[in-house]
Amino acid sequence: MAATQVIRSEWTKIRSVASTVWTLSLAVVVTIALGMLISALSKNEFENMDAAGRLSFDPTFISFAGMSLGQLAMIVFGVLVVSNEYSTGMIRTSLAAVPQRGTFLFSKIAVATLLALAVGMVTSFAAFFLGQAMLGELHADLGDPGVLRAVIGGGLYMTLIAVFSMGVAAMLRSPMLSLGILMPFFFLISNILGNVSATKKVGQYLPDQAGSKIMQVVTPVDDDTPYGPWGGLGIMVLWVVAALVGGYVLLKRRDA
């Protein structure tokens, strides 16, 4: 089967599964709504901040506060896109139709990545503009130094979270096992490693902590991170590549 036919087939699969559509919709709504709420609360708290807090105040980054929950939906989307066929047994039919396993996997991931990128960019720009509206006179403008990079970076961050989840799901095949590892990894282990002084230097190199650096415009006063916004995104890309390579290698070696 030609690559274009495989891509068309994967697009049909993704848009015909209701759960993938719902998870992407949830990512948009949660990210924007929580970002607006945190932005409004931050505006009210600004007067009570000390000098250090005001120096570290980052109106752009605050509007992305909803990313912490929005990425949850992107993780679920990434896992479902890849592992749904394993849970339903359709993977045997798919691999019989497309024996070239590399073509099969990367066509699926390419289609899902483009969809995640479109959703991520729309979400990031909407979260920024609506968050800044909540901040009132404390708002940042898109033309301010570093702001456009941060907003585009927000969309890239959401996309890379989804693609990383696709790679992990390709390795593990089970949706429950994939989510059972990814959820604690991002929402428990990463937070613990990043907030405990003894492990903070390790936590800085985890995909979510490194990648989120791209959304920062104002560097916090106590920030000693050894890389910048693009360096952090680069670290996240390396994690994603490693996950995709692992998924590809295991798909080639295992039976369906």
Q: pLDDT of 163-194, one tens digit each?
A: 999 999 999 988 899 999 999 999 888 988 88
* Mean pLDDT, residues 120-138: 95
- Of 56-65, 82-91, 205-214, 237-246, give the lowest mean pLDDT range: 82-91
Residue 2 has pLDDT above 70, yes or no: no
Model confidence band, residue 239 (pLDDT cutoffs 50, 70, 90): very high
Q: Is this model's pTM higher than 0.85 or not?
A: yes
CB-based contacts of 123-126 (< 8 A; 24+ apart in sequence) = 123/27, 123/28, 123/31, 123/32, 123/70, 123/154, 123/155, 123/158, 124/64, 124/151, 124/152, 124/153, 124/154, 124/155, 124/158, 125/151, 125/155, 126/28, 126/32
Residue 90 has pLDDT above 90, yes or no: no
Give the count of alpha carbons within 13 A of 90, CB side only.
9
Q: Is the dihedral of CA 130, 231, 170, 10 positive or negative?
A: positive
Model confidence band, residue 8 (pLDDT cutoffs 50, 70, 90): confident
Residue 79 has pLDDT above 70, yes or no: yes
Residue 1 has pLDDT above 60, yes or no: no
Residue 146 has pLDDT above 80, yes or no: yes
Q: Mean pLDDT score of the chain, rounded to an integer?
A: 88
Residues 165, 239 contacting (CB under 8 angstroms): no
Cα–Cα distance for residue pair 27/16, rounded to 1 Å: 18
